[in-house]
Chains A and B, each alone.
Chain A
């Protein structure tokens, strides 16, 4: 089954995959359909059928087509949300960059329908985060979690999640990740060389090519412990050609991100059996320092938690003031934040953090 999921994910990337000679039985097909949905490769699975690579019964074909239509319909609604948010924020003088789903779909795929996405992610400038949230809330958006302390999002956070009046998720980002490795990223680099794409007759800007590839790497390496196949595919599709990798390597070093990209390339090799060409490939063999290993453990191990990530971030922060303020935000968040996270009392919050550091409990 995993070979078939991998073949579907590699559609259009690798020519010589092995496909089944005849349709799967119903039990195996149901397992495949669940895996396809989990890995968000619905469009690719349907495309493999249409290309004559994946043999299916009529019923199985109808199920894959229906799933593809459903996720494509959601993508259209999300594209509209992106245009609406862009227009709304622009009317208040706030610019944004599209991240992940819509950007990758429209810039890196010949056919955007092959890239599924379930939410909208946009990048804002740190100084615009608070104003953007006010504008969005005024127009019916609701914040999912409160920030730990006033100003936390703009200074330390990756961003925040809101839900739209229609129930779709909108993530507004300040940077590409949270934790140790995020503090190496100069967020002004993210606004260099942006790439435009057309959407519904309008123009939306996304991260530039090097930054978009690095975002895919950071998402793969620091997001879920086992990233989705679609994230792996994003890495391949956004990878710069060998002759243009110098700019990416310079950014990786400026962001102190060798361990992150190294882990992403290892995952790419393990999950898709794909190795990128060019100088970047060597990073797959990067040997992390002990601090990098600790930071990766804090972010993606079974013991990962907010508390472990704060501790692991300390050596990566520039200056004692940032360290003290981050620790204070983690130890003494606002009461409304504690309540929204299900831990009302200050002592209970501290106990929760200590337990998570000891590996006894996840704090999310």
Chain B
């Protein structure tokens, strides 16, 4: 659960490629890359430096032309998923 003050950042050694709207991600512990959806890929792209969840939400909302409220729940889900994959971490 994000407390709002946490800063998300990519883990060292994570490699990525954009393929169209989607993103291929290879994390350090994995043998094979995973293919993210366009939405999850946008969340990954937004975490290119240490950022709060609120900033990620704003960035993703801008990409999709939506309001922050509309994307907030999905962004939180994708951040948790990226954390579980080992692609991002928070401090």
Which A positions have Cβ atoms within 8 angstroms of B? 43, 46, 50, 65, 68-69, 72-73, 75-77, 79-80, 83, 111-113, 199-202
Contacts and interface: CB of A to CB of B under 8 A. Distances in A.
Given A73-B26, A113-B19, 12 more contacts: A43-B19, A46-B20, A50-B20, A65-B19, A68-B20, A69-B19, A69-B24, A69-B35, A79-B15, A80-B13, A83-B13, A200-B13
B63 interface: no
A199 B20 CA distance: 20
B12 A200 contact: yes
B16 interface: yes
B34 to A, nearest CB: 10
Nearest to B11: A201
5 contacts: A68-B19, A72-B19, A73-B32, A76-B17, A113-B19
Contacts of A77: 26, 33
Contacts of B20: 46, 50, 65, 68
B24 A202 contact: no
A113 B13 contact: no
B26 to A, nearest CB: 4
B10 to A, nearest CB: 6
Most buried by A among B10, B18, B35: B18
Contacts of A72: 17, 19, 24
A111 B17 CA distance: 8
B66 interface: no
The 10 A-B residue pairs whose C-beta atoms are closest, nearest first, are A201-B12, A72-B17, A76-B26, A113-B17, A200-B15, A200-B13, A76-B15, A79-B15, A73-B33, A69-B19
**Most B CB within 10 A of own CB, among A43, A65, A72, A83:** A72
A23 B22 CA distance: 24
B46 to A, nearest CB: 16
Contacts of B32: 73
Nearest to A43: B19
A76 B13 contact: no
A69 B34 CA distance: 11
A43 B14 CA distance: 21
A112 B16 CA distance: 10
Contacts of A50: 20
Contacts of A111: 18
A78 to B, nearest CB: 10
A112 to B, nearest CB: 7
Between A65, A68, A80, A112, the greatest number of chain B beta carbons within 10 A of the residue's beta carbon is seen for A80
A68 B19 CA distance: 7
A199 B24 CA distance: 15
B30 to A, nearest CB: 10
B24 A80 contact: no
Interface string B23-61: 010100000110100000000000000000000000000
Contacts of B26: 73, 76-77, 79-80
Nearest to A82: B15
Given A69-B24, A80-B26, A75 B14 contact: no
Contacts of A65: 19-20
B19 A46 contact: yes
Contacts of A75: 17
Contacts of B33: 73, 76-77
Nearest to A69: B19
B19 A200 contact: no
